[in-house]
Structure formats: C-alpha cells, structure tokens
Structure 1
Amino acid sequence: MSATVVESLRNELADAVVAEGDPGYDEARIVYNAMIDRRPTAVVRCRSTADVATVVRAAAESGTDVAIRGGGHSVPGFGTADGAVVADLGGLTSVEVDPASATAEVGGGATWGMFNDAAGAHGLATTGGIISTTGVGGLTLGGGIGYLARGHGLSCDNLLAAEVVLADGRVVTASADEEADLFWALRGGGGNFGVVTKFRFQLHPVSEIFGGPTFFELADGPAILEHFQEVARTAPREFGGFPAFQIAPPLPFVPEDRAGEPFLAVIFCYNGPAAEGEKIVQGFRDVAKPVAEAVGPMPYPALNGAFDALVPPGLQHYWKATFVDELTPEAITVHMQHGPLVPTVNSTVHFYPINGACHDVAPDATAFGHRDANFAIVIAGMWPDPAANTANTAWVKDYFGAVEGFGQGGGYVNFLSQDDQPQAPVNYGANYARLREVKRAYDPDNIFHINQNISPAA
C-alpha cells in the first residue's frame, strides 16, 4: 500500500515527494517536539493548493493516513505519524497585505513571524501567538490566543475567509457567505474539517507597543497574581499582558547572581500610549518591587519574537491546559506550590486573559467552546534532555492534577497533549455536538483524524 501511494504521488508531484529511504528523509520527518519520533511513508513538500489536494486524494484512495504540517509546532506531533503521508505546507508561506482594506491573505504554512513582519510594515497586526515561529494555521484553527486578544478577539474572530481542501480533494472557500457551517467549524474546531491553504484576516492598527518582561520574587507571587486578576478585569482592552512562572535566563537586565532562579514574571503588552502602559506597569511595581525588568516601547513583532530563543526546535514537550473563570485564593495557593518547581528555563506556566473582546463574540457564533472563561492557563513542560522525560512529565501531570479542579473542565486544544484526546467533548466545550454534525457533513470517513479529533456524528 505504501509503495502504491508513493508511486502515485511521484507521478504527479515528482521531486516534492520524500519517501522513506530517500536522501533527506530523516530531516524531512522531523517535527518541533523532539519527543515525537515518527516514520511517515512520505513527506510531500506542497507548493500549491493543487499539491495539497493531490496528497489528500492519493491518501484517501489508497487508505493511507494523512497528516497535515503547517508550522510544525503541534505538541502531540500531529504534523506526522507512522506510515502516514505528510502534507507539508512549508511551501505555502506567502503573506499579502492590503493596507487600504486592512486585510491580509496568508498561506497555510506561514508563521506568525512572517505574518507580523509583513503586516507590521504597514503598522497593522491581528491576534497571533506568543512565539513567532508558531504556525498561523494551527493557532487560528484552534482559536488563537495571544497578546492582542483582549483588544481584538481571538485569531479566529479575525478570520474573514479560508481556502480549504476537503476530504474528497475538492477546494472550496469558506466564509460567512459561502460554506457557512464549515467556516463556523474552522474557527475553533482545529484541523478536523479540511486543510486550510489560505487564510484571509482582518487587521488592526498595531505599531509600537509598550511591553516586556518583569520578574518578581516568589514571595510576592500571590499578591502579583491577585493584582493581575484585578487588572485583567478593569484595565483598558489595550492591555494584553500575562503572568508566568519562569526561570530567569542569563540576560543583561537580570542580576547575574539571580539568573537561573524561578520567579513570578509578568509579560506586559500595551497596545496604546506608552504613558498609559507605564501606569499599568507602575501599578504592579506598587504591589511589589521587581527584581529585574526590561519594559519599554518596542515594535509589536519584536515582542512576538522576544522569547523564541527559549523554545528552539528540538526540545522535549509535554503540556497541559485548563480554562478558568477566576483565580481564587485557594487556586493561587496551589499554583504557588507547583509553579516555582518549573524544571528548566525552557519550561513555563502562562496565565492568559481571554476576556474583553473575546467575550463580545456570542458563545455559539464560532466553534471556540469556552467563551465564558476569563483565563486560559497552560503548563508548558519543555526541556532539552530526553533523560529528564519521566521526571519533567510528572511535574506537568502533578501540577495539572492539583489545579484541574479549579477550572471549567477541558483545555485550549492548541495547548493539549496526545493523551488529552479522550477529553475532546469538554476540550471543545459547548459546541461539540454541532462540531460532530459538521464533521459528518464534510469528513464523514474521518480522513482528517490526526489531530485533537472530533468524531463524526452517527
């Protein structure tokens, strides 16, 4: 079977196909999470929507699994699988910005760094991720949480249209006016319904922001978390910062004798006048004296890429996530017990505010299923040494087990690991039943199942 599908693909796509045994195969099969070591039948380096359609049809006709790789950042390694054909979208990275309409057309393999550089040249942006090497596609399809969410909604809230390769190889455009059910499902339902080869986004004025990291002593952590919660409730929507448990890297603004220690950090982002952003930062300083800080005006793309060096390709990854209504005193106590045990400088715990503009969207207007949550928390275990997998995975699991009861049930699908799949109904939240109906309409045979999978309705 594998020989047949490879032969079929070579006949149509020639040198775009890298099969097991070919030169460059081991490089082509690598994904971002080094804990994932899979041997696909072939990796196809797609250069067009037509290439993607060819891969999907060939996989379906031969009964071969198909995996879709956009930015490749999937923690569970969903961009590959043993014996699968991988449609690698790395050749679809164009970003075309129309400043007159404040929109952008973005290829399905583009990263947020590419997006932000192109849009930022015009003083524009839309909600993206925290790391610039993250793929635009995967982040958007799962919802899209980032610095600009309180002001401009999730990434999926800014999606205007999508070009989609369906399970039968057909190519359609999904928008509010065309394939409306599919468009609804794409905005939070992940990669379950097709391969998005092009996105069209609404952009917003975002040029220089006021932001950067500040590190506080762990002893001040409870007070900082309480203050952050109040700021998230009351601050202008231009504020998009978040707290984090983080080991201080050896950076010039960190006292040399404190590098390597864990802190409660706050990453600031204020998309408005610097003086207003400074007032919010000063409010945190009034609660506790920072140990170190590097806060000031900077281009938005600079903040989006500021932490890339902490999460290079090739780390081991294991994550857990939860949605939360409130950071109660009891929950903060538990976080303060587990967060400071963050095992490496690469690992972290983030508390993202998802109120403001995120709450302006009706719960059933998109597939994103946790519109009423105020915070999305991720325990992101990342480390370089495979020998530490057991110990560091245990840290993530123990931490999550201790805080899970304070959440809504379920977590943000872009932050989940492979063993979270059985929780799909609560992970996708209130819209899961409708998602199953749309899945039945567009992918009844579950061709697209290498993801946080939604089973088709019976």
Structure 2
Amino acid sequence: MARTVMNEAAVAELRSRFAGKLITPESRGYDDARSVFNAMIDRRPAVIAQCETALDVAAAIGHAREQGLEIAVRGGGHSVAGMAVTEGGLVVDLRRMHAASVDPYSRTVRVGGGATMSHLDRATQPYDLATTGGRVSTTGVGGFTLGGGSGWLERKFGLACDNLESVRLVTADGREVTASESRNPDLFWALHGGGGNFGVATELTFRLHPLPSFTAALLLWPADAGPEILRCYRDFMASAPDEVGGGFIYLTAAPDPFVPDSLVGRLACAVLITYTGPEGDARDVAEPMLNLGHEGEMIAALPYAEFQCMLDDPPGLRNYWSAEYLSSLPDEAVDLFCARAGEMLTPSASQHVLFPVGGAVARGPSEYPIAWRDAPWAVHPFGLWEEAADDARGRQWAKDVIADMQPWAIGAVLLNFIGNEGRNRVRAGVGEENYRRLAAVKRHYDPDNLFHRNHNIEPG
C-alpha cells in the first residue's frame, strides 16, 4: 500500500547521506515540486529527493528500498500518464542535474539526466551543432531519448537514440554503470527505445551534427480545406529531401501577426515545414505547398533553439494523447483524419497531427527495439484543455482518432507518444521479439521491477 508520510527519523537518516534537497509534504514548495506537465495528475509523494549527483540518486534508491516506497523518476515531467510522480512514494527528481557540456572537436554533448531540450539546444547552438530533440524545449532529455526520441530533425539526423553514444545509469541495486557499444552492450541496446525500465539515467552523451542554418515555415488554411491540403502535403513529402521535417496540423489559430482575423480563435489546418538549411533553399523546396493559396504565412530563418521555444505548450493544462504509426496514408485515411478534426476541443491548445517519418529514421540502425522505424506516417492526437468538465470529451476524441486509423496501423508505436494504455500496448509498441529480449535485460538489471512507473517491461 502506498505510504503517505515518512517518519522524521527516516527522513533524517536519508538527509544525512544526501547532498541535494529533500522535500516532504510539510516543506515549503511541496506543491510546486510535485506538479507535472499534465494538470490531471494530482499525486502526493511522501518525499521528493532533488538529487545533485549520481551518489544522491543511489542514496534515494537505496532508501526507497529500505522503506518499501514506490519509486518514480522525474526528468522533464512530460509523461501524459504522470509517471514522474507517485502517490505516497519517493520521487527521484533529477532536475538539478541539468548541466550540458559540448566538445565541438569531437562533436559530442554530455548532458545531465535532468536536462531539458532547452539546456541541450542552448548549449550546442553557439557551435552551430545540434542533435534530434523533442518538439518543445521543456521536454526532458532522458525520458525522451530512452523512449526513442522523435523530433523535427529526425529525417535528417535520425532519432535521438540513434545519436546516443553512452549513458551513465544508476541501477536498482545502487550501482553506477556505463552503457555504450563496448560496455554493457545489452543494456545499451535496451536504452534505444526500451524506456526508463532499467535504471536512472544520470548522464547521456550524444553525437552532434552541423546545423549552421535552420528555417521554419507555417502555412494556414481554413479547416474545410484540410482534405485537399493534406493530400497535397502527402504527395509533397513522398519526394521531399531529408532536410524537410514538420507535419500537418489542425489547431486553433492564435492571434499572431501573420494570422488573418478570419482564422483567429477558429479551427484551422496548417502545414509546418522545418528545413535544415537557409531560407532561400527552404522556399525552393517548399514551392509546391506555397502555391496552394494559404491565408496565413510565417517563413523565417532562425536559430533552432529559438524555434524550439516558440512551440512550447502552455503549462497547467489537462492532457490526453495517443498515437499510431501507419503503413500508408490513402485517401480514405485522409478523409477520416480530417473529419475527426471537427471533434477537437476548440478553442484550445489541442493539436491533431500527422508527422511524416522516413528519411534517416527509416535508414537508421535496424538492430535497436524501434519496431516502427519503417512507417511513413505517425498520427498523434494531442489533447490539451483547461476544464475538468472537458476530460471525457478530450479523451474520447483521441481514442476515436486512433480507432479510425486501425486499418493502416502497424501496432508498433513510439512509447513517448502514448500514456498508460496497458501491457499489451507496450508489447505491440516495441514488437514481440524485442519485448522478450528487453524482458531479459530487465531481469538482469532490475529483477524486482523496482522501476515500474514507466511503460513497464516486466522481468522475463
């Protein structure tokens, strides 16, 4: 049974060997420390261990074992299921461990397990270097990467995990280990999409790529133009170079200077084009989409780190989202996808998204547990709203989108894109053969399933 309090002696014992900060329900700032991205989540841990070092992580894990406390691990806190916080247990909070150090000569970056994309991107930007990150700046690097890591740069540079060179990890028994191609390669394999099942990642090292220029274009149309525009976008992406990323999105048009008054506050369809190159080249490549009579337009070259911050989701909203990876996107799927846009909560921060995959993702390492790598499209109903009264409608909309896409769904899915949808969903998400191998790795590194607040892979 979950514990709701820790006795003073137990807290004092942990504090005696802990360099960071311990927060309990009586502490000032407790409510802020326990809040996560999804405002639906309201859990009260017995203690939040804000770690400064890997030794703190080991101490917190050991203490939780001794006290019989459930463990949650917090990096960015973006899990839609609220996996970063536990009721009555202990939170291993990594947010103080966010340093990012770039070696421009080897083109690598080393980041702490609590770093967000903003920490990583702003460290690499001065060197005109980058690696694939999340689609907003507040996502935690660790959980994002261990789940696979899909972002705007993936068609050019591959998934985040494809660029992973090593991970420092604290295991369930408190050991610090390094996972790389040459050290603990079984663990290193599992950390490429297997999620946070195997320990607490305290440091990650990534390979970087030159990115001297970056361009973004956002084109807007009225919602009823969606089916026609999506067909054109589908055909455009079929021959687009790897430099092109982005997505097709239904959203509530914001009152930005480039948005016509007729669209502000209303459901609109948008094409976002990201380009790993200068604006002139981006305009040339995007010409087929620029000739479709859009009503709103923003095209600009800008630093990649700045672009990431522009898309940050507002905090304090209620969340529900899911995803499917698709084998194809025929006209029937286009029509079903566009029809469901009318059921979104509008106005809201919700987004109804189709991401193109392909490029470097499809060509990436086939040996890792990324069973969806060959899928050309990903559908991602991303619901965000303010009022609890809208919870049922918001959830049902996302579930209906997923149900519509089943004729083309491959079953495998990026774990970062889904919440707590059951064990079978996780097995299908990574693929059955991968699941069995991941379970064997789990049995070796965490036989008691101490780390289970994640897309859990049980010990074999």
Q: Identify the TM-score tier after normalising by the shorter chain.
A: over 0.9
More displaced stretch, 8-17 vs 437-446: 8-17
1:303 and 2:307 aligned: yes
Distance across 2 between alignment mates of 1:8 and 1:215: 58
The one-letter code of the counterpart of 1:455 is E
Distance across 1 between alignment mates of 2:223 and 2:387: 26
Task: Indicate the residue corresponding to 1:228 in structure 2.
Answer: 233
Question: Does the 8 Å CA contact 1:241/1:266 hold for their aligned counterparts?
Answer: yes
Question: Does the 8 Å CA contact 2:20/2:52 hold for their aligned counterparts?
Answer: no
Offset of residue 340 of structure 1: 3.4
Q: Write out per-residue CA displacement over residues 192-223 of structure 1, whole angstroms, 9 at most, x where no aligned residue.
A: 00110101000001132121311123333223
Distance across 2 between alignment mates of 1:420 and 1:336: 28
Of 208, 221, 224, 1:219 maps to 224
**1:103-252 equivalences in 2 (<5 Å):** 103-252=108-257
Distance across 2 between alignment mates of 1:438 and 1:14: 31
Distance across 2 between alignment mates of 1:297 and 1:345: 28
- Report which of the two has the higher share of helix: 1
1:271 and 2:276 aligned: yes
Question: Does the 8 Å CA contact 2:101/2:109 hold for their aligned counterparts?
Answer: yes
1:359 and 2:368 aligned: no
Question: Does the 8 Å CA contact 1:247/1:342 hold for their aligned counterparts?
Answer: no
Identity %: 39
Offset of residue 316 of structure 1: 0.2
Offset of residue 23 of structure 1: 2.4
Distance across 2 between alignment mates of 1:198 and 1:226: 43
**1:12-27 equivalences in 2 (<5 Å):** 12-13=17-18, 16-27=21-32
Task: Indicate the residue corresponding to 2:338 in structure 1.
Answer: 336
Offset of residue 422 of structure 1: 4.0
Offset of residue 384 of structure 1: 1.6
Question: Does the 8 Å CA contact 1:145/1:354 hold for their aligned counterparts?
Answer: no
Of 257, 264, 276, 1:259 maps to 264
Question: Does the 8 Å CA contact 1:245/1:340 hold for their aligned counterparts?
Answer: no
Q: How many residues align?
A: 453
Distance 1:215 1:42, change over 3 A: same
Task: Indicate the residue corresponding to 2:445 in structure 1.
Answer: 442
Task: Indicate the residue corresponding to 1:6 in structure 2.
Answer: 11
Distance 1:15 1:104, change over 3 A: closer
Distance 1:127 1:284, change over 3 A: same
Q: Secondary structure at the match of 1:446?
A: coil
Of 372, 375, 380, 1:378 maps to 380
Q: Secondary structure at the match of 1:163?
A: strand
Structure 2 residues not aligned, in runs of 5+: none
Distance across 1 between alignment mates of 2:127 and 2:196: 30
Task: Indicate the residue corresponding to 1:451 in structure 2.
Answer: 454
Distance 1:23 1:219, change over 3 A: closer
Q: Write out per-residue CA displacement over residues 261-294 of structure 1, whole angstroms, 9 at most, x where no aligned residue.
A: 11221111110243221023221122x2111011
Q: Secondary structure at the match of 2:16?
A: helix
Question: Does the 8 Å CA contact 1:93/1:106 hold for their aligned counterparts?
Answer: yes
Distance across 2 between alignment mates of 1:318 and 1:124: 33
Question: Does the 8 Å CA contact 1:376/1:412 hold for their aligned counterparts?
Answer: no
More displaced stretch, 272-281 vs 254-263: 272-281
Offset of residue 404 of structure 1: 2.9
1:348 and 2:325 aligned: no
Question: Does the 8 Å CA contact 1:369/1:432 hold for their aligned counterparts?
Answer: no
Distance across 1 between alignment mates of 2:12 and 2:149: 38
Of 356, 367, 370, 1:368 maps to 370
Distance 1:198 1:15, change over 3 A: closer
Structure 1 residues not aligned, in runs of 5+: none
Q: Secondary structure at the match of 1:13?
A: coil
Question: Does the 8 Å CA contact 1:248/1:345 hold for their aligned counterparts?
Answer: no
The one-letter code of the counterpart of 1:346 is A
Task: Indicate the residue corresponding to 1:409 in structure 2.
Answer: 411
Of 91, 94, 107, 1:89 maps to 94
Distance 1:336 1:103, change over 3 A: same
Distance across 2 between alignment mates of 1:298 and 1:444: 47
Distance across 2 between alignment mates of 1:136 and 1:264: 30
The one-letter code of the counterpart of 1:47 is E
More displaced stretch, 54-63 vs 114-123: 54-63
Q: Write out per-residue CA displacement over residues 318-370 of structure 1, whole angstroms, 9 at most, x where no aligned residue.
A: 1111111211111111001102332143100222222111122243x222221
Distance 1:265 1:370, change over 3 A: same
Q: Secondary structure at the match of 2:231?
A: helix
Offset of residue 171 of structure 1: 0.3
More displaced stretch, 121-130 vs 249-258: 249-258
Distance across 1 between alignment mates of 2:204 and 2:341: 37
Task: Indicate the residue corresponding to 2:324 in structure 1.
Answer: 322
Question: Does the 8 Å CA contact 1:362/1:371 hold for their aligned counterparts?
Answer: no
Distance across 2 between alignment mates of 1:313 and 1:383: 11
